[in-house]
Structure 1
Amino acid sequence: MSENWVKVYTTGDAFAAEVLKQGLTEAGIPAVTISKQLAAYNFGEVNVMVSQLDFDKAIEYIFQNEIE
């Protein structure tokens, strides 16, 4: 993975992070999720990451879709 990935979204809801990742991917913006949750308790953060080159497009997607 030679690209530089940057965080565009953080949530405590793993499902919401996966939905956002899928939406970004369908919009042509490659995305990954990185979970920092304690698996047994679903406590912690999940980060959605995109390439630095796609950062502006990802933020625009999040804004247009009113994702909080």
Structure 2
Amino acid sequence: MEKDWKKIYTGTNFYKVELIRQVLEDREISAVVMNKQDSSYKFGQIELYVHERDEEGAKAIIEEMSEIED
């Protein structure tokens, strides 16, 4: 991965990580999903990265989304 990208979220549910990525993209924050799960047994992590200039805004959006889930 290029430098200047920061990991902002880690999870095991691909659909949740992809939903977060879509929300970030809708708010014009480029995001990349890196799926590190084993394809057969589904253990491991899925990571979400954004450019470091968007890190604070992206974390605020994820926080806002988690408040809605609760």
Question: Does the alignment reach a TM-score above 0.5?
Answer: yes
TM-score normalised according to structure 1 size: 0.89
Structure 2 gap segments, 5+ residues each? none
Deviates more, 1:12-21 or 1:50-59: 12-21
Percent identical among aligned pairs is 31
1:2 shift after superposition: 5.4
CA distance in 2 between counterparts of 1:2 and 1:12 reads: 23
Tell me the matched-pair count. Answer: 68
Going from structure 1 to structure 2, the CA distance change for 1:2 and 1:13 (only over 3 Å counts) comes to closer
1:33 shift after superposition: 0.3
1:57 shift after superposition: 0.4
- Superposition pairs of residues 1-68 of structure 1, within 5 angstroms: 4-66=4-66
Structure 1 gap segments, 5+ residues each? none
Structure with the higher helix share, 1 or 2: 2
1:4 shift after superposition: 1.3
Deviates more, 1:21-30 or 1:2-11: 2-11
RMSD: 1.8
1:35-59 C-alpha deviation (Å, 9 max, x unpaired)? 1100111111000100000000001
1:11-68 C-alpha deviation (Å, 9 max, x unpaired)? 0111111111111100111001001100111111000100000000001101112268
